[in-house]
Amino acid sequence: MTQSRSGMGWGLASIDAAGNVLDVWYPKLTLGEAPAAKPNHGFGNLVHEGEDLRGVRRMPVFTVSRLDDPVVDAPDAYLRLHLLSMRLAKPNTLNLDGIFGALNNVVWTNYGPFAVDDFAQRRLAVMQGNAGAGMPGMRAEVNVLAIDKFPRMLDYVVPTGVRIGDGDRVRLGAYLSEGTTVMHAGFVNFNAGTLGTCMIEGRVSQGVVVGDGSDVGGGASIMGTLSGGGKLRNSIGEHSLLGANAGIGISLGDNCVVEAGLYVTAGTKIEVWDKEKAAAGVALDVVKGADLSGKNNILFIRNSLTGAIQARPRKTGIALNDALHKN
């Protein structure tokens, strides 16, 4: 019988007045079996058992997560998301079943997480408590950044060797390899990311991975497995380009290009280019996008004269700017 994989570590949990876990921050995690004796958590005076003005207590929790089993609770969910962003586990290698039910919806602010239900009153308490005594009429603003189950990655994990133009666009649980650049309009969801040096200017959906040397162009998108996307996980191989405002519902292999503005799905009808047939006026073979999913060395274009989508052979992959990705 195969032994279940485990991850563990001390986390600092934010717990609201109703006892709900709003978030957990794990500064360090390890893989393997839990030690016989727990090490000291080391959080010091960051721990406070009484409620602050947000109505939040900050308590240490030691979590052991069975990574092949469904998610049990919020601390377990946060541990798995941290493992991904810390590069201790690659996308699609952890069991994330039950993660949405385990995570609470949270008001994310510049003062940290708040519970949703009593946010208005808690916000007022923080603003009054932090108002400058020497500046009558001034108030300390509580800025709402988002209302969501997933927080920003950079508030919990800062990976080495990456550039991120807008921290709001990368969720905790994203896996970003060294050399990755996520531009301001790029987006990387949890359990998704890059497996090498990449340029991300478009959307990388949950479950999607992008191979070394590849570029997801501005406004481009890759179908994920959420919101009716099914269970098929799409990916992009190495040295491939998904052009600006293009999209795929299939996987790209190595050395592929999808021209700007073209969307290729599993059911898209595609002409397979054959130079001899074209010269002889013979109809080209037509296949579905699914038939070409994951294949290498393909250029997907739309024939501007006929409007047909075509798959043409491509010998070499794209090359990223090395200097741009030395992060």
Give the list of residues 6+ apart from residue 271 with CB closer than 8 angstroms, or none: 284, 285, 286, 303, 308, 309, 310, 311
In contact, 122 and 55? CB cutoff 8 Å: yes
What is residue 227's predicted lDDT score, i.e. its pLDDT?
Answer: 52
β-pairing verdict for 106-109 and 112-114: antiparallel
CA distance 14 to 22: 5
The full set of domains in the chain, from first to last, is 1-151 (3.30.70.2010), 153-325 (2.160.10.10)
pLDDT (mean) for 65-71:
97
What is residue 3's predicted lDDT score, i.e. its pLDDT?
Answer: 66
* Residue carrying the six token digits 């991904």: 84
Of 141, 201, 238, 271, the active-site residue reads 201
What pLDDT digit, counting tens, does each position of 131-174 carry?
654 445 556 789 999 999 999 999 999 999 999 999 999 999 99
Longest dimension (CA), the chain: 86
* Residue carrying the six token digits 């006892």: 19
Q: Is the pLDDT of residue 244 over 60?
A: yes
> Could you tell me the CA-to-CA distances from 8 to 2, 80, 224 in Å, in that order?
19, 9, 28
Which string of b and e fits 264-287 if b means at least 16 CB within 10 Å?
bebebebbbbeeeeeeeeeeeeee
What is residue 92's predicted lDDT score, i.e. its pLDDT?
Answer: 96
What is residue 1's predicted lDDT score, i.e. its pLDDT?
Answer: 42
Q: Is residue 141 flagged as an active site residue?
A: no
What pLDDT digit, counting tens, does each position of 86-103 carry?
999 999 999 999 999 999
pTM of the model: 0.92
pLDDT (mean) for 108-132:
90
What is residue 130's predicted lDDT score, i.e. its pLDDT?
Answer: 73
In contact, 114 and 122? CB cutoff 8 Å: yes
